[in-house]
């Protein structure tokens, strides 16, 4: 397949969660179909109606997560990138880059700058999560020369203070175990930002905690309302380090 005809693949987020939603949902449907009634002592439960609606809800959640992974996250990325006033010479860090969604989007905004992506490459959090696939996506998107992909831990960033104009992260920080670990990642993001630098952080839970952690680390932070075109519904935390 030629580069011109190849398409980037940014993977499926939380593939194990999606699998479990479908397995449990189908299991409930089968239970209601083949065990229509359940006798527990003197009480008879009619399982068909009882299992259909939760089964349908679980299967729908799985479908919506796939739709987000294949289409919605591209639009959500663009929404996040529009929150930065790009000049083209920024140094950018993508924390939890995965297969390069945010990093590559940022690299397309650059003329003289560079986008760095770091990850611990967990396939539990993203299908096919590997440096090689990230670099392949960058090549397909025509930005291989503007990116640098590295191993890296969000709670212990290996960059000097004030290294980046922009830090990006999508659906990463909630995966860090423990409130202390997540707060440490927020402090690290502020530390590696240049004075006046900007971070755009997106997640579906704990964003209020992120705002507090960023502010305690020396930044102004606020968060948007939920984006109903994502699933799970995502909020964006807008961070500006004090000049």
86-241 carries CATH number 2.40.110.10: no
Please state the pTM of the whole predicted model.
0.91
Question: Could you give the CA distance from residue 170 to residue 165 in angstroms, rounded to a whole number?
Answer: 17
Per residue in 142-184, pLDDT (tens digit) is 999 999 999 999 999 999 999 999 999 999 999 999 999 999 9
Question: Could you give the CA distance from residue 62 to residue 70 in angstroms, rounded to a whole number?
Answer: 13
**Per-domain residue ranges for the chain?**
15-75, 86-241
- If one counts every other C-beta atom within 10 angstroms of the C-beta of residue 228, the result is 8
- The pLDDT confidence band at residue 198, using thresholds 50, 70 and 90, is very high
Phi, psi of 69 (to 5 degrees): -60, -35
Question: Could you give the CA distance from residue 180 to residue 118 in angstroms, rounded to a whole number?
Answer: 20
- If one counts every other C-beta atom within 10 angstroms of the C-beta of residue 187, the result is 17
Per residue in 52-98, pLDDT (tens digit) is 899 999 999 999 999 999 999 999 999 999 999 999 999 999 999 99
């Amino acid at each position: 397949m030629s580069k011109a005809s190849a398409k980037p693949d940014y993977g499926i987020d939380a593939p194990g969660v999606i699998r479990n939603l479908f397995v449990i949902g189908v299991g409930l449907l089968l239970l209601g179909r083949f065990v229509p009634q359940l006798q527990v002592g003197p009480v008879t439960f009619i399982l068909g109606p009882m299992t259909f609606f939760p089964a349908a809800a679980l299967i729908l959640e799985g479908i919506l997560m796939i739709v987000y992974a294949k289409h919605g996250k591209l639009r959500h990325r663009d929404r996040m990138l529009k929150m930065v006033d790009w000049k083209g010479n920024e140094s950018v860090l993508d924390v939890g880059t995965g297969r390069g969604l945010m990093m590559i989007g940022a690299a397309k905004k650059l003329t003289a700058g560079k986008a760095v992506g770091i990850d611990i490459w967990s396939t539990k959090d993203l299908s096919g999560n590997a440096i090689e696939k990230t670099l392949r996506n960058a090549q397909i998107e025509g930005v291989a020369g503007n990116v640098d992909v590295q191993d890296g831990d969000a709670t212990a960033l290996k960059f000097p203070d004030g290294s980046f104009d922009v830090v990006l992260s999508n659906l990463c920080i909630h995966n860090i175990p423990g409130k202390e670990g997540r707060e440490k990642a927020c402090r690290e993001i502020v530390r590696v930002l240049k004075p006046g630098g900007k971070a755009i952080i997106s997640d579906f839970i704990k964003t209020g905690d992120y705002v507090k952690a960023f502010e305690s680390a020396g930044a102004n932070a606020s968060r948007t309302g939920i984006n109903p075109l994502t699933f799970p519904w995502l909020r964006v935390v807008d961070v500006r380090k004090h000049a």
